[in-house]
Chains A and B, each alone.
Chain A
């Protein structure tokens, strides 16, 4: 088993610096998720750990060894690709046994290990099929089987569920979670899907433009985002941001307001806002609620879109200053388009980000 430490890791293509010094330490047996929008270079970072991309600067340490210049096979990693990368001309059995074949294991050893992997992944009945006869989820199982059969110290997953449909994605997500618990290996998982990140991770690394935005457990990041980007990225629907002016600061709190919002006292969790500064006030859609009848509430908006999901109702509202807000109510409710709704929120549940 192995801990992984990235120290000042950099990657450049000529003059283009795409990863600009990344420090992450992942404990042995931890499930770490790299999350970020497309183009944030999370996959590049994973491929650098795998050894598929050269490292331009910094050090990469896996299990106490600096592996910067080692080829992939000497790093003790296995990888599952988004496109599965299973060999079309081999049966499932041959695909799963590929690493063992390469290592020159005898047939009995291979059969035993493949059977074990197939049992864990519940795909014994697929072993003699060809990849063309498998569904997407089954192919991904084969790819995972090929990874676990060698008992690597580190598993790398590069957006493994992106090519699956929604229902299957949820099943496979749970399977991967169970797999992590039963194998106890260190896993690094790259995704752009914050739900996968929140549900699977022991530790989330939020990346943007080749820089780490924040590292922490899912709930740390959710409740105490370090900046507006992290706050907006985690949670669905995304956090609302109101442009506000800081009136006064003191005692870990600040008074803010804008054209649509009366002055309100909110906690300061990150940064040091100064009076007179512009700032972003983040309110999660779940913490916005219609004001009880007869009360004015803190915000007033016109309903421009409703989405009824049964357990939840999502409203898009337009404020008088034409900012748009999303409110997610945890019940089924009917709102006609064009209705003006008064909204309230608990100021203690907001996040203030000074610019």
Chain B
């Protein structure tokens, strides 16, 4: 018995071997490599030996400070006014070679606001990366609920017996099978500032009242445009997951609901939604992870611009690691992303845990 077990066990390893080697070589090894590299000053191609630099990469990426600056006063103690507003010392004078503020050395303004007489600056060592984090979070916070909600709506619509329902299913699913790069290229035409489809459409339905907008060239619309297109692209995939969840709910439960007099909304509230709990967890975690990995759309459509308004974490990781050949900085970004996604997944799991 035992020899047979061992023999078939060996056969099992042989069969699992190729996949195990590939996973180890291309997933597990790089994962630990990235963590190790993030503590060094390794560059992609460099004659210099690699040095251990501790948390320097992380400090460079995440270093932030808050600085409160009082207005410039003259000898009499009066606030100096300039163009009707109090004048403040220039920020550069404080963050460049200023012996009084060694910890602010090299930092740049990320944001500022007035607090009474003083001005408060939020400074960051890496303003672009901070913008990338904020943009990524905006993207996730909008895409996750909207995409999940729309997908559920579509799933409810197509989860019925109707002639030709498969045509609808196919249509909604189509964008998923098209490469995201192709989709991004197409949407670049749709969003075109002069003769794009969207501008033409808006112009036509408003009889020219809505002027053309350069959707991807305007810092205030670029991220929104990418969000809309990303939601459209993957909604069909999540629709299919919702649909499979819907079909696990026993039809008799709906019949019992109908007999008890449940309205459409009550049926959804008391029967459908509770039955979709596990599916909801899956859909939300998958969308969140995909949304944090936002890269291809940015790379094809905006390259992070205009004015860094569409910078994202993954785009920054690749831009730094390969564009600037700063592989240790790119690795550090990857590790930060890993920690963010892991924490959010754990929080989601905890929030949606089975309560007994």
Stretch of A96-104, A174-182, A203-211 on the interface side? A96-104
A313–B277 Cα distance when bound, in Å, is 55
Contact residues in A for B53 (Cβ distance below 8 Å):
none
Stretch with Cβ within 8 A of A (4 or more), from B80-88, B112-120, B232-240, B258-266: B258-266
Q: B273: nearest residue on chain A (CB-CB)?
A: A89
B250 and A85 form a contact (CB under 8 A):
yes
A98 near B260 (CB under 8 angstroms)? yes
- Which of B256, B259, B274 touches A89 (beta carbons < 8 Å)? B274
A347 within 8 A of B: no
Query: CB distance A72 to B259 under 8 Å?
Result: yes
**Nearest chain B residue, comparing its CB with the CB of A79:** B259
Interface residues on A, range: 20 to 34
Nearest A residue to B254 by beta-carbon distance? A85
Residue numbers in B under 8 Å from A50 (CB-CB): 255, 259
Indicate if B146 sits at the interface (CB-CB under 8 A). no
> What range describes how many residues of B lie at the interface?
10 to 19
Question: What A residues does B322 contact at CB under 8 A?
Answer: none
Q: What distance in Å separates the Cβ of B161 from its nearest Cβ neighbour in chain A?
A: 12
Contact between B255 and A85, CB atoms less than 8 A apart: yes
Chain A residues with CB below 8 A from B262, complex form: 73, 102
Question: Which residues in chain A, 77-106, are within 8 Å of chain B measured between CB atoms?
Answer: 77-79, 81, 83, 85-90, 98-99, 101-103
Among A71, A89, A90, A102, which residue has the most Cβ atoms of chain B within 10 A?
A102
Residue from B250, B257, B270, B274 in contact with A83 in the complex, judged by beta carbons closer than 8 Å: B250
Q: How far is the CB of B250 from chain A (nearest CB, A)?
A: 7
Q: Which one, A77, A86, A88, A101, contacts B259 given CB within 8 A?
A: A77
Interface residue A146 (Cβ < 8 Å from any Cβ of B): yes
**List of A residues within 8 angstroms of B341 by Cβ:** none
Q: Cβ of A150 < 8 Å from any Cβ of B?
A: yes
Residues on A with C-beta less than 8 A from B275 are 88-89
Q: Would you call A102 and B266 a contact (CB within 8 A)?
A: yes
Give the docked Cα–Cα distance between A1 and B71 (Å): 86
A81 touches B255 (CB 8 A): yes
Please give, as numbers and ranges, the residues of chain B lying within 8 Å of A51 by CB-CB distance. 258-259
Q: A150 to B252: give the CA distance in the assembly, Å.
A: 19
B274 x A146 contact (CB < 8 A): no
Asked whether A52 is an interface residue with its Cβ less than 8 Å from the other chain, the reply is yes
Min CB gap B93→A, angstroms: 63
Task: Give chain A residues whose Cβ lies under 8 Å from the Cβ of B277.
Answer: 89
Alpha-carbon distance between A78 and B253 when the two chains are bound, in angstroms: 14
Q: Supply 10 further A-B pairs (C-beta < 8 A) apart from A73-B262, A78-B260, A146-B260.
A: A50-B259, A51-B258, A52-B258, A72-B259, A72-B261, A73-B259, A87-B271, A89-B277, A99-B260, A102-B266
**Chain A interfacial positions (CB closer than 8 Å to B):** 50-52, 71-73, 77-79, 81, 83, 85-90, 98-99, 101-103, 146, 150
- Give residues in B with beta carbon < 8 Å to A: 250, 252-253, 255-263, 266, 270-271, 274-275, 277
Q: Ordered nearest first, which 9 A-B pairs have the shortest CB separation?
A: A73-B261, A85-B256, A89-B274, A99-B260, A85-B252, A79-B259, A72-B259, A72-B258, A102-B262
